[in-house]
Amino acid sequence: GAVVSQHPSWVICKSGTSVKIECRSLDFQATTMFWYRQFPKQSLMLMATSNEGSKATYEQGVEKDKFLINHASLTLSTLTVTSAHPEDSSFYICSAPGQGLPKLFFGSGTQLSVL
Amino acid sequence: SQQGEEDPQALSIQEGENATMNCSYKTSINNLQWYRQNSGRGLVHLILIRSNEREKHSGRLRVTLDTSKKSSSLLITASRAADTASYFCATDNTGKLIFGQGTTLQVKP
């Protein structure tokens, strides 16, 4: 089955610093990847759609300059949380659709804690 | 905005019992999917039902879809302690999956 690898699993950083999260499709190519955010005991909120070779598409209310997405290759998308603040603390999860399949394969998530 | 609402929010049962979770959505869909999430982990796809299907089975899972009521249910039969997790429905109508609020299932041994 398709595997999506996400790193790091958790990160603690100081307020004002930037954090980069990587999402890789290991055994398939992903022209599109999705980034979600999840607060404790809540659902996943779609943040943006990452498109290989072009700009990401952000959902309403998501700050583009705050959450920088880069999809430089068919197997790698990155999310950079810039100038992180405590309110950015959350669980971030990436996913990619399998080739020809409407279902998503998810990374294991990144727990971000901003002090 | 979130598409789906699920109930119950939390469900606690004994091992061996059946667990039923319900999901309602608001707009038309191409398909509806159910995912499972263990605490602090990513999601795992369980089953997909297309808009022209009414029922689907996969092992101990049974999913129904009623497009007239815009609702779906997930039944887990003969539950096991290992089924303890959160379960989310997700609807697809634009190529993006929108997730419901989820049901937290606890199966007691």
CA distance B24 to chain A (A): 14
Question: Is the Cβ–Cβ distance between A32 and A75 less than 8 Å?
Answer: no
| B106 in Cβ contact with B10 (< 8 Å) | yes
Angle at A44 between CA A40 and CA B103, to 5 degrees: 70
Q: Residues B65-89: pLDDT tens digits?
A: 999 999 999 999 999 999 999 999 9
| N-term to C-term CA, chain B | 37
- Give chain A's radius of gyration (CA, Å): 13
**Cα A58 from Cα A50, distance rounded (Å):** 9
Query: Are the C-beta atoms of residues A85 and A94 closer than 8 Å to each other?
Result: no
Q: Are the Cβ atoms of A43 and B41 closer than 8 angstroms?
A: no
Q: How many contacts (CB atoms, under 8 Å) link A and B?
A: 53
Q: Provide the shortest C-alpha distance from residue B29 to chain A (in Å).
A: 12
Inter-chain touch A102–B31, beta carbons under 8 Å: yes
pLDDT surpassing 70 at residue B4: no
Q: B47-71, pLDDT tens digit by residue?
A: 999 999 999 999 999 999 999 999 9
Give the tens place of pLDDT for each residue, A38-93. Answer: 998 889 999 999 999 889 999 999 999 999 999 989 999 999 999 999 999 999 99
Residue whose tokens read 């009623």: B66
Quickly count: other Cβ atoms within 10 Å of residue A56's Cβ. 21
Tallying the residues shown for chain B, one arrives at 109
